[in-house]
Chain A
């Protein structure tokens, strides 16, 4: 009888211990407490996982002008809280296309792939499907670059390039209520939704709020840079597959033209990557 009781108590203890272990928060991945809209991303503490230096190249226009699009993109990349703890690991570069057309952008992408590599953040687009631009993106991808491109804000339902190319991750934005924004472009080429409403930057003496898919792409580029820094050896195809498992589905069930796979859940994404390190 006493033996039976002992066995039951032991079993109960084992079950309790297993439950406690399963329910205990992952030591490596505590959730960061960030202000809105960053809070929606579920960004985890991952400083210890980011071990190697990584290159992040912003391809844009008007980096030198105070109110230029490129200047604001650069400030957002530098000031957003996602990279706060791993600033020393991420080297940010800027490249401006020589001409403001698809061919100019193609050259800029090739230059970025040859000189910097790493993560390419393209907050620009053209509605022309240009052969040179397509092959520049493929070239950069083959060289191991991860290419993120903005989906655009023209309320259009036709593709913008390079975002719509297969080797690019097309980033769209959601507002602070996780709704797609009115002027977002839409299409089955959209991959992932990232917060993109009123992202604050300090530009000289002014505080500015950035809204749109350019802003979302910068955040996605920062997240991708952190992943790269974990030395996961992730290719763009693998990242795309990971996105499917790491997004909170929004809108129509499954991948849809407004939200792609949905809103990225960084804690899920980084947890999967951390396991593969």
Chain B
């Protein structure tokens, strides 16, 4: 009897030890997963901050991404019906309540989509074009919208070769007469090698995209010549809402005689084809008016140079 009791006690003790060990292992492994998830999130957010977003924007994008990825995995689409956001399956059935996206995440996504749709990609481009035309001398443009979206453009020009002449150079870059189109460029672009760069970054609330282009030209006033001697393009995007389908840089005009054909400028561009996520319905988000779900639009960053001045601008086509 006593033997049985002892065996029972031993067994009970072993069970206890086993249970404790199991708990410890479970806790440790759960902890590890949590740490890993934290690390992933931290890395993702740090990467976005390095790209140019602030912490709040980066966190928002991380959260949106998790939800959009889940929607894509489950072949679900967010649509706006009668002013109400809802989630539909591939057969068009409203699965808002029963889908895997929890209530808090759903509300968060719908709120972000509602807010971000107030400023469309089209509006951003129009505002940017207007501002760049108005302030042609400026090297940084940033338009911030009330809904938190923004677009920022930086453009630079740099002379690369040394000027060896001993001549005195007056230092007005231009003199204009108000209300007249005439612009006198006194000493713009002496003979030499110049490099130009242009970068456009956009934050839509649910995605972030960057497009840049750079070129180098040789300018020779004596034969009215501008020649492209090098160029490159670059692009990036963050967020599951948009993806880059295709991108390349090209030079359309590499050699011009400005006075023979003044309308012809040297030109290089970087072309990026973006696709909107198939999980965003045709009427939701900042691309809704011009880009249906799953479809593409093409974004260009363009640099042009003549003997007198250079232009840098963005263009897009659906």
Q: Please list the residues of chain A having a beta carbon within 8 angstroms of any beta carbon in chain B.
A: 60-61, 67, 69, 72, 97, 100-102, 104-105, 123-128, 130, 150-158, 160, 175, 177, 179-183, 186, 197-198, 200, 206-215, 217
With both chains docked as a complex, state the minimum distance between the C-beta of A152 and any C-beta of chain B, in angstroms: 5
Q: Which B148-178 residues sit within 8 Å CB-CB of chain A? A: 155-159, 162-178
Given known A102-B166, A124-B168, contact A72–B137 (CB-CB < 8 A): no
Decide: A97 near B168, CB < 8 A? Known: A72-B175, A183-B173, A209-B176: yes
Given contacts A182-B156, A211-B137, contact A126 B169 (CB under 8 A): yes
Which of A97, A154, A182, A198 sits near B176, CB closer than 8 Å?
Answer: A198
- Whether A153 contacts B162 by the Cβ 8 Å rule is no
- Contact check, A209 vs B168: say whether CB atoms are below 8 A apart: no
Q: Are A155 and B170 in contact (CB under 8 A)?
A: no
Q: Are A206 and B137 in contact (CB under 8 A)?
A: no
Set of chain B residues within 8 Å of A208, measured between Cβ atoms:
175-177
The interface residues of chain A lying within 8 Å CB-to-CB of B158 are 155-157, 186
Contact status A154-B159, CB under 8 Å: yes
Q: How many residues of B contact A (CB 8 A)?
A: 33
B157 near A212 (CB under 8 angstroms)?
A: no
What's the least CB distance linking B303 to chain A, in Å?
Answer: 13
Q: By the criterion CB–CB under 8 Å, are B187 and A105 in contact?
A: no
Contact check, B174 vs A211: say whether CB atoms are below 8 A apart. Answer: yes
B163: chain A residues at CB < 8 Å are 127, 154, 156, 158
Which of B137, B139, B157, B171 has the most A CB atoms < 10 Å from its CB? B171
Kindly identify, within residues 225 to 263 of chain B, every residue whose CB is under 8 Å from any CB belonging to chain A.
none
Does B190 touch A at the CB level, under 8 Å?
yes
A177-B138 in contact (CB<8A):
yes
Q: Is the CB of B137 within 8 A of A197?
A: yes
**A155-B159, A157-B159, A197-B137 given; A207·B172 CB < 8 A:** no
The binding surface of chain B is classed by DSSP as: loop
Q: How far is the CA of A213 from the CA of B173 in the complex (A)?
A: 8
The residues of A that contact B171 with a CB separation of less than 8 Å are: 123-125, 150-153, 212-214, 217
Report yes or no: A127 in contact with B165, Cβ–Cβ below 8 A.
Answer: yes
B47 to chain A, nearest CB (A): 23
Query: Is the pair A125, B173 in contact by a Cβ cutoff of 8 Å?
Result: no
Which residue from chain B places its CB closest to the CB of A198 in the assembled complex?
Answer: B176
B118-157: which have CB < 8 Å to A? 135, 137-140, 155-157
Q: What are 9 A-B contacts with C-beta separation under 8 Å?
A: A69-B170, A124-B168, A125-B171, A127-B162, A127-B164, A154-B159, A183-B188, A208-B175, A213-B171
Q: Are A210 and B172 in contact (CB under 8 A)?
A: yes
Say whether B186 faces chain A, with CB atoms less than 8 Å apart. Answer: yes
Further pairs besides A125-B169, A215-B172: 20, Cβ < 8 Å: A69-B172, A69-B186, A72-B175, A101-B166, A101-B167, A124-B169, A125-B171, A127-B163, A127-B164, A156-B163, A157-B159, A158-B162, A175-B135, A180-B139, A181-B138, A182-B138, A182-B157, A207-B178, A213-B173, A214-B171
Minimal beta-carbon separation of A169 from chain B (angstroms): 14
Given the interface contacts A154-B159, A181-B139, A183-B157, does A211 sit within 8 Å of B175 by beta carbon? yes
Interface centre among B140, B162, B166, B172 (most CB of A within 10 A): B172
Inter-subunit contact A126/B155 (CB<8 Å): no
